[in-house]
Structure 1
């Protein structure tokens, strides 16, 4: 037997086994996961050796496509599980490729990101090419046309058939199994379920039972500003995980004391986010539409619908609506669905300072610009504001960590230049998991401190609803963290704030550990109910 045939057989067997037994979750990546023989591989070897040469080549191409698909899906599963704590969905997640590029390039730079992706793609294609070449080598060196079961190939066939027979032996079932069919079948089931899910979503969009206009809907909060603030990656783990609670719980207590001194009351609860680790717009869409929007296709369909957003309901009721989105640096056609009167993104918030890596501007500037560009002009016209604000200082890569300056000194943001160019680089931070976690929680602490200072200073006639958009990635929370995020309601109207206690909120800025996690799509109805006439 030619040594090249041995090498081809070993290579095909090893790579095929790895593709089939590779776990689809990062926490399962350990040696024991690979101590299983997938019976499809020896069976494939037998088929390649015994079939006529022309038919064997067709089978080799099909096997290559099959193994490439499984290997791609497994790698995608591990990646998506690491970021969003769920499996890769071929039906929904293809649209995330661009978002992944934006995040990766923001952390390590465009050239490094492009090089990493290029090398990864080249390595993947090389492996797939080698799988096909190994099979063709086996076929080319086989003498089965004259001697179908003689010599070396007959021995291999007998060994493979013997291995297959072992699957009926109970004591060996943990070491020999069939992997491909079950895995691909589950992925097909996932796609079918996803298609059914979209049909259910279409039915929900067609339901007109909820309020279609905001006229007369918010009498209890008339003439007050309604300020909805999403804090990036502010999840339940920040409050309760022992790695982070020693910093955040005292911060929340400090904010509560600061608010109380300013005459403001607060109540806090938990809300269950439709996403984790990213895709913040899914949380925004869920909260504002009252529908569960947990994937990009649902979100895209919502943007084409006529379901009134919470913003649009407030606009109908006479509020001037605004969006303050400092992370948006490209065209944003989705703004049309939400129905804002005024939209402020990175380009028109007037920030002249340096960016904090991916983060375009610190939260303190965002809130200062909101006060100057939105609230003051509206108040000068005698109008109240309903605003949706995204605070992004706690977005990855979480470096450098900003700190507060005097509100009177914020100006055009150039005061933050020294902060923006200080601290460790993203590459330095992301080389160490402990550094990642420390920087993450320090940015959450900064966002909360900034919010507390802003509300105490400017919140006299406003009602604040503050919540996280989602938990950070499992790298920060661990693999089995809740998807819940904190929700805080702050206002001078103590009676209004206390009305949220009936919905399971707790007094103050720290939610109770045993409180119900209210799905984020139900928060819209809760606000409509609490803001209606008493």
Structure 2
């Protein structure tokens, strides 16, 4: 029997030396293997105790960002461990056991929070929001379905739940075991805690570091404190955001004065999923994509179009497209789900609603990624919304994307843009083929083969790549991502070159950067944005924006926050003509 087990058979003594009632002792172990092999039993008990120590320390000091996994972060002294051990040592037996269980469960919840943070830092470059981000776990499950199929995603979900539950149980048992060990060796434990506490204070006072990481750690407490403050800040942010939303220079502009510089034009506002600056700046991706952008610029020029491009800074990276869309359209910085909900429940004028309010345009939304009711669509001022069902696609999904971009644009042409006798329209079009996990990617095919999309069944089976295989190598992920962007841009430019006219104005942009597998660490939040038109008067109105000719923005092209675009655009195309942005 080791020291930890012996604690159950001895009386406790409090700090004054007064004997405490003995904790309930376990019945004597039956004659068996432990008595026959006492050395092995002791070694096994010590191993279990050592593992309990390692597990508790690991949970306390492991970072919540997987990119910060470095040796220096695992040789720190956690203040929470010292304080927790001291508290358990001072409590009476019954209270001590309850507290030990509570601390073990708390460590389990801390571990769960750190795991969620790791996933969110990797995909969104921010920690998990305890109030607003639970809804995003559905997207994580959808991603797993794309990678491993429905059965694999279900197995992974069940496995994760079992793992978390097992981890909580192990942490509770570990804390209980260490508590018994400390109580049975009270004096040794007390002296050890004094030494560790003194060492922690000394290291903290002298700001001693190992490989740039402070030796004295209180990261777990700081994490909890920051998360509590984040909840409070979120509540305060809601009030501040409402004030910003109410301050709208265009709210009271008469409809007949809105967007006068675009009257009679077909305006296509198109978002390309995950089209970020990394696709252009990264040498591995930028060189081939740059050639594609140059080629497509030439094709537009040959078709009579001119184009200008710049950079917009999205509020998000990795995922959360609707936050980027709503930021661009509303002129407000929609950085989280709370702001989005507040936005769509209010009456802030969006760019799409401005077109509808004039009465000069029919406004439609082409949203192939929407597969369920989207009541927020009414807020954005769209006369009609074509979701995945209304677009009539009969082919297979391409991972997350419900249909190829080439089909989406063909359906738009047949359902709305190509109708005879129609008036001017404004369309918000969401292209999804470049959505994570970027495999399989559809191929550009002759338009007369597209039909209802059934042809893609055989094409996907013949040429499509398995996302699980692609994601084994980050280099392959980046290459497939780049190909998906090329496909989306090609589909869009080919469509405009064929079906556009002198009255077509195309605005297209990325909604956010892709995740860190593509961008690497510390990515910026910039996305390309381009305006394409045949009528020279359209681009004359933005001549003072300083944007680059063509579809590829220069490195030194202006970088604006995405929420600034609405006001600049509406000013440029308002009654003043080319207003100062």
Structure 1 length-normalised TM = 0.93
Q: Which residue of 1 aligns with 2:152?
A: 112
Report the aligned-residue RMSD.
2.0
Deviation at 1:348, TM superposition (A): 0.9
Q: Which residue of 1 aligns with 2:23?
A: none
Deviation at 1:204, TM superposition (A): 1.8
Q: Which moved more, 1:428-437 or 1:206-215?
A: 206-215
- Measured against aligned partners, the alpha-carbon deviations of 1:57-76 in whole angstroms (never above 9, x if no partner) come to 23213312432232222212
Q: Which residue of 2 aligns with 1:10?
A: 50
SS in 1 for 2:364: strand
Q: Which residue of 2 aligns with 1:406?
A: 446
In the aligned structure 2, how far is the partner of 1:20 from the partner of 1:329? Answer: 42
| 1:33 partnered with 2:66 | no
Q: Which residue of 1 aligns with 2:341?
A: 300
| 1:52 partnered with 2:92 | yes
Structure 2 length-normalised TM = 0.86
In the aligned structure 1, how far is the partner of 2:104 from the partner of 2:66? Answer: 25
- Measured against aligned partners, the alpha-carbon deviations of 1:218-251 in whole angstroms (never above 9, x if no partner) come to 2221111000000011001111111211111111
Do 2:52 and 2:178's aligned partners in 1 also have CA atoms closer than 8 Å?
A: no
Matches within 5 A, 1:79-478: 79-139=119-179, 152-170=185-203, 173-174=208-209, 175-212=215-252, 214-317=255-358, 318-377=360-419, 379-381=420-422, 383-421=423-461, 422-460=463-501, 461-478=503-520
Q: Against the structure 1 CA distance between its residues 95 and 388, is the aligned structure 2 distance closer, same or farther, given a 3 Å change threshold?
A: same
Q: Which residue of 1 aligns with 2:43?
A: none
| 1:68 partnered with 2:108 | yes
Q: Which moved more, 1:120-129 or 1:74-83?
A: 120-129
In the aligned structure 1, how far is the partner of 2:561 from the partner of 2:521? Answer: 21
Q: Against the structure 1 CA distance between its residues 141 and 456, is the aligned structure 2 distance closer, same or farther, given a 3 Å change threshold?
A: closer
Deviation at 1:139, TM superposition (A): 4.6
The total of aligned residue pairs comes to: 525
Q: Which residue of 2 aligns with 1:515?
A: 557
Q: Which residue of 2 aligns with 1:504?
A: 546
Deviation at 1:127, TM superposition (A): 1.7
Q: Against the structure 1 CA distance between its residues 316 and 42, is the aligned structure 2 distance closer, same or farther, given a 3 Å change threshold?
A: closer
Q: Against the structure 1 CA distance between its residues 179 and 414, is the aligned structure 2 distance closer, same or farther, given a 3 Å change threshold?
A: closer
Do 1:167 and 1:173's aligned partners in 2 also have CA atoms closer than 8 Å?
A: no
Structure 1: 5+ residue stretches without partners:
145-151
Q: Against the structure 1 CA distance between its residues 143 and 93, is the aligned structure 2 distance closer, same or farther, given a 3 Å change threshold?
A: closer
Do 2:58 and 2:74's aligned partners in 1 also have CA atoms closer than 8 Å?
A: yes
Deviation at 1:18, TM superposition (A): 1.0
Q: Which residue of 2 aligns with 1:149?
A: none
Do 1:48 and 1:138's aligned partners in 2 also have CA atoms closer than 8 Å?
A: no
In the aligned structure 1, how far is the partner of 2:237 from the partner of 2:546? Answer: 30
In the aligned structure 2, how far is the partner of 1:198 from the partner of 1:384? Answer: 37
SS in 1 for 2:154: helix
Do 2:104 and 2:173's aligned partners in 1 also have CA atoms closer than 8 Å?
A: no
Structure 2: 5+ residue stretches without partners:
6-45, 210-214
Deviation at 1:142, TM superposition (A): 6.9
SS in 2 for 1:23: coil
- In our comparison, the structure showing a higher alpha carbon Rg is 2
SS in 1 for 2:284: coil
